[in-house]
Structure 1
Amino acid sequence: MNNTKRVWFDLLFYIAIPYLIWNQGKDIIGDYYAILLSTAPAFVYTIYTFIKDRQFNVTGLFIVITLLARTIIDLISGNAATMLNNQVYFMIGLAVVVLFTIVIKKPIGLYFFVDTAYLMGYKREDSLKLFHQPDLFKMMNWLTVLFAGRYVFLAIVKYVLIQKYGVEGYGNMIVFRQAVTWAFSILIAVYTYFIYKKIQDKTGMDNPMNPNVNE
């Protein structure tokens, strides 16, 4: 799936369909079930891309575990207001978990990067050895901080919207959530580029992620 198609599918499954389900369903099945049902398209789409892209690695495992955990929390919340507040707590909890990987010196951003390198043809053990060099390892820590920052910012935005609009503001939350996600995706992509350039400098290769370098 190219980047243009991915953006359109993201718009469809993360914003358009959830917003439609919420807007049309809240008066029919109630706020709680409308919100619960609106999360289904994003869940199915994410699982589909997980299988399609064969992300059977740390990145994919993290995505699936967080999706399942959030779904379970949503199901046991019992009502719409509790569900939305629980989602705020859940995102803060995710941020804490992600930051904890830095504390134990296993920054999850590093493993996300290893997974990407593997898909490009690099052996995991070679990438792990390279990325554990002090200067690159420090950059991987900051990459992990960016991932955690995304969850914190999402939680803050959702909390503010809950306080201002209550459950009725859920439609706005859908849009703002995706906007924040894209904004941090851009930040992460930019920082990833700097990591990539650093790898180039260290390896002396024009394309350090070219799978042919291992041949």
Structure 2
Amino acid sequence: MEKKQKKSGNKFIILDLFFYAAIPYVLWKFGRDPFGDYIAMLISTIPGFIYTVYRFLREKQFNITGLFVIASLLLGTLVDLLSGSAERMLWNGVYLGMFYVIVHFIALTVKRPFALYFAVDFAYLQGHDRKESTKLFYEKGIFIWFQLIQLLFIVRGLFMAGLKVYLLKKYGVDGFDQMLIYRQIASWIFGALITGMFFYTNVLIQKFVNLQLKRERESSIHRGIQELTDK
């Protein structure tokens, strides 16, 4: 099973590189002369859009996770289409990224981290009840880790926006190809950190559940002995 998951993970890394960086890079490079910067940039987003929808359907991401993915995809596409120029499209991408940072920060502040609800959706796909999972994930010692993952979402958003601003100011629209590569590398790094934190949180959850089961068994045994004693 572990080998199969590793193979699947490597497959998606290659597909991510292909659809989010390689194909957009080629479309950008060869589309600028015949179509202009803005149209070429719009065209370069199509493979990533199609691939994201494919991943969404394949991994059956529904509810909070699915709504977040689809809403982000539609909003990003709408902003791109309304930008009107290549440079404006890139700057609007920065502003949109900061908007997501604010949304994540609000979720962190009101103690409703998206990370927790993403985990609830995943647990539901594994056959666990949503209410039970939500209650469990809010337990002391577990909830703090979902808050930390939420904080990492914010750090990722700030870093990606900062990287884009730096490349925009240094290279302008001509640096779009470098943005594709650098942002994909940064995306992988943050993706690995976030995934690692989710795995660690899952370990804590398993320990917590096992401890609860142990306590319940001990309590049941104690009650059984007490009943025999009373008789």
What TM-score results when the alignment is normalised by the length of structure 2? 0.86
| 1:120-144 Cα deviation digits (max 9, x unpaired) | 2211111101001122111111111
CA contact (8 A) 2:62 2:121 kept: no
Distance 2:194 2:105 in 1: 16
Alignment of 1:196-215 (within 5 A): 196-204=202-210
Alignment of 1:121-200 (within 5 A): 121-200=127-206
Q: Find out whether 1:16 has 2:22 as its counterpart.
A: yes
Show the counterpart of 2:228. Answer: none
SS at match of 2:24: helix
Q: Which ranges of structure 1 fall in alignment gaps of 5 or more residues? A: 206-215
Show the counterpart of 1:72. Answer: 78
Q: Find out whether 1:117 has 2:119 as its counterpart.
A: no
Distance 1:74 1:185 in 2: 24
Alignment of 1:44-63 (within 5 A): 44-63=50-69
Larger Rg: 2
Show the counterpart of 2:114. Answer: 108
AA aligned opposite 1:134 = K
Residue identity (%): 41
AA aligned opposite 1:11 = L
Distance 1:57 1:180 in 2: 27
Runs ≥4 residues deviating over 6 A: none
AA aligned opposite 2:206 = Q
AA aligned opposite 1:196 = N
Show the counterpart of 1:208. Answer: none
| 1:171-196 Cα deviation digits (max 9, x unpaired) | 00001111111000111122112211
SS at match of 2:141: helix
AA aligned opposite 1:154 = M
Q: Which ranges of structure 2 fall in alignment gaps of 5 or more residues? A: 1-6, 212-231
Distance 1:153 1:119 in 2: 31
| 1:81-137 Cα deviation digits (max 9, x unpaired) | 111011011101101101111222211110011111112221111110100112211
Show the counterpart of 2:104. Answer: 98
Deviates more, 1:105-114 or 1:167-176: 105-114
SS at match of 1:106: coil
| 1:23-62 Cα deviation digits (max 9, x unpaired) | 1001110000111110110011101111122112211110
Aligned residue-pair number: 205
| 1:142-191 Cα deviation digits (max 9, x unpaired) | 11111122111111111100000000000000011111110001111221
Distance 2:43 2:78 in 1: 13
Distance 1:75 1:180 in 2: 25
Distance 2:45 2:39 in 1: 10
Distance 2:172 2:138 in 1: 45
What TM-score results when the alignment is normalised by the length of structure 1? 0.92
Show the counterpart of 2:90. Answer: 84
Distance 1:164 1:198 in 2: 44
